[in-house]
Chain A
Amino acid sequence: MKKLIKILLFSYIFLACNPISNPGKELYKEKCQNCHGIDGKGLKGLYPPITQSDYYINNRSTLACIIQNGMQGDVEVNGKIYNEKMPSNPLLTEAEITNLLNFMNSEFFTDSKSFTLKEVSNNLRNCD
């Protein structure tokens, strides 16, 4: 019994010092959530959804560039046209962009292949 309490106490302290946080989630909250929403569903006709969006699925190789350089002009997402300007994030590293994409993958899509750092790095070299 004593041993069990010890183990519980120890694991509690251990976990408390190492909160399991997803680095991509923190970045999403900081950089994306204001417009795209905590649920990734966007805001009416202003900001397009990420959740289950065809644009995201069909433009896999340019997503990293969009996060880094922003976007403007018309964009069609799930049959609707949006055209607010998306700000750039020039200070994000390749690793951070990879984490962000993988967070969105797991949060907003049911079956999508995760991104590797190599893939993102490649994509970023080929931005328009």
Chain B
Amino acid sequence: MKIKILNLIVLVVIISFFSCIEYQSENNLPILGPREPVEKVVDGKTIIDTIYHSIPNFSFTNQDGNEVTNKSFSNGYYVTDFFFTSCPTICPVMTKNMLQLYDEFEDEEKVLFLSHTIDTRHDSVAVLKKYATKIDVKSDKWHFVTGSKEGIYDIAESYLVSAAEDPNSPGGYIHSGAFILVDPLGHIRGYYDGTQPQAVDKLKRELKALLKKDEKVN
């Protein structure tokens, strides 16, 4: 009887151990977003190709007053989010967590950061500059951008996250707390809750895996 119970305990321990292993490989992050099938003619045969969702062209102004476009990020990966400087709720936590990523990848030139303000009225270039200076980050590594209200809200939609004015919310805006990981082709590779340290750690691991994989290919 005793042996049976012991066997059972061992079995339960083994099962629970394996059930905790994440099976999704960090080396194979999917491309997220809607896909479009297109017909193409190759060598006289019609084949179906897939067009993946990618971030459309954008142009914003960063904390130094410089123009920032897709090209500014096409050399590597970037992590992006939507925030505003006077946000009293989740943004301080997002900034704190993004700073952790910044510190982690500070010397990795293939990783950049892009924070969009959704309060374009208040967050001028000068306000963004002050904000970036206060957290002591370099402009060419972490871009804080502003632009036309429509431009920012439209690009949020392209990143498939929400950003909107809401007079009933603290600070006057509601927005997603997501950190979005984008690859050199403008494909979204991951969403992470920027307010949760575990999610930010996952981003760190997955981004490192992508960089490692690229290194092997080149």
Residue ranges of A at the interface with B (Cβ–Cβ < 8 Å) = 34-35, 37, 43-47, 84-85, 87
B90 within 8 A of A: yes
Q: A85-B86, A87-B170 are in contact. Are A45 and B93 (CB under 8 A)?
A: no
If over half of A's interface residues share one DSSP class (helix, strand or loop), that class is named, otherwise mixed; here it is loop
Q: Which residues of A contact B90 (CB under 8 A)?
A: 34
Among A37, A46, A85, A87, the residue within 8 A (CB) of B134 is A46
Taking the closest CB of chain A, its distance from the CB of B17, in whole angstroms, is 28
| Interface pair A47/B170, CB less than 8 Å apart | no
Taking the closest CB of chain A, its distance from the CB of B140, in whole angstroms, is 19
Q: Which residues of B contact A47 (CB under 8 A)?
A: 92
B12 within 8 A of A: no
Q: Which residues of B contact A44 (CB under 8 A)?
A: 99, 134-136
A34 vs B85: C-alpha distance when bound (angstroms): 14
| Interface pair B92/A43, CB less than 8 Å apart | yes
Q: Which residues of B contact A43 (CB under 8 A)?
A: 92, 95-96, 99, 135
B198 within 8 A of A: no
B133 within 8 A of A: yes
Cross-chain pairs A/B with CB under 8 angstroms, 17 sampled: A34-B88, A34-B90, A34-B93, A35-B88, A35-B92, A43-B96, A43-B99, A44-B134, A45-B134, A45-B135, A45-B136, A46-B95, A46-B134, A46-B135, A84-B85, A85-B86, A87-B170
Taking the closest CB of chain A, its distance from the CB of B14, in whole angstroms, is 29
B60 within 8 A of A: no
Closest B residue by C-beta to A33: B93
B72 within 8 A of A: no
| Interface pair A45/B133, CB less than 8 Å apart | yes
B66 within 8 A of A: no
Known: A35-B88, A43-B96, A45-B133. 9 other contacts (CB 8 A): A34-B93, A43-B92, A43-B95, A43-B99, A45-B135, A46-B131, A84-B85, A85-B86, A87-B170
